[in-house]
Amino acid sequence: MEKREGQHTQIKTVMSSKDEILTRIRQTVRTRYDMPEIKPDFMAYGDKTARFIEVSESVGGRVVIAGKGEDINDIIRSLYPAAKTIASNIPEITAATFNPDETETPYALDGTDLAVVRGETGVAENGAVWIAQNVKEKALYFIAEYLVILLDAEKIVHNMHEAYRQIQLNDYGFGLFISGPSKTADIEQALVTGAHGAKGVTVILTSTV
């Protein structure tokens, strides 16, 4: 019996910070509040694509609709005629000058003029595109001077509630919403694009139909 008590005190003295924090919370919380019922069945935009384009442009992005039978590579070349190093791991993107997945380290991606990647879900309310990491090094999304995201026009949802019901992470364990180019207003609130990431982002809407 005595021995047991002794053991108990010993455990107490070596209580980890984790246990200390959790114990303190358990001791201090007086009222436990219920989770509110969340029913996000809001605003069906009449035209999701139109709203997506409008908001994307308002945040400094650009949206191009690929016409039926139009070659995406032609669109890319005409949008970025000066791009010399174009990275893409999408087989159909023949405009690419290299496959970023074949580089050894993320550092080798420095100097990429343009990256072409695929987006999964577009969000009409804020012009964001969800990408679950689909290149070997996520650095590509940020280090390329310009970014092109291919998005199936059918994959545009109304809002973030809808988006979060759909999105998933894969084995890379990283994913993000991108809405327009990298930007800052840290100097006198003057908006400047191209803070650290892409100086420009173009979403090319494709149609599978």
Considering only residues 138 to 197 of the shown chain, the ones binding other proteins according to CB under 8 A are 138-139, 141-143, 159-161, 163-165, 167, 169, 171-190, 192, 194-197
Binding to other proteins by residue 46, rule CB under 8 A?
Answer: no
24 or 84: CB nearest other proteins: 24
Q: Pattern of binders to other proteins over 96-125, x per CB under 8 A?
A: ----------xx--x------------x-x
Q: Which H/E stretch holds residue 125?
A: none
Strands 200-206 and 146-152, sheet pairing: parallel
56 or 88: CB nearest other proteins: 56
Q: 11 pairs with which residues across the strands?
A: none
Q: How far is the CB of 101 from other proteins (least distance, A)?
A: 12
Q: How far is the CB of 208 from other proteins (least distance, A)?
A: 26
Binding to other proteins by residue 62, rule CB under 8 A?
Answer: no
Give the HSE-up count for residue 155: Cα atoms under 13 Å, Cβ half-sphere: 21
**Would residue 189 be called left, alpha or beta, if left means φ above 0 and alpha means ψ between -120 and 50 degrees?**
left
User: In whole angstroms, what is the distance from residue 156 CA to residue 145 CA?
Assistant: 25
Binding to other proteins by residue 28, rule CB under 8 A?
Answer: yes
| Cβ atoms of 27 and 165 closer than 8 Å | no
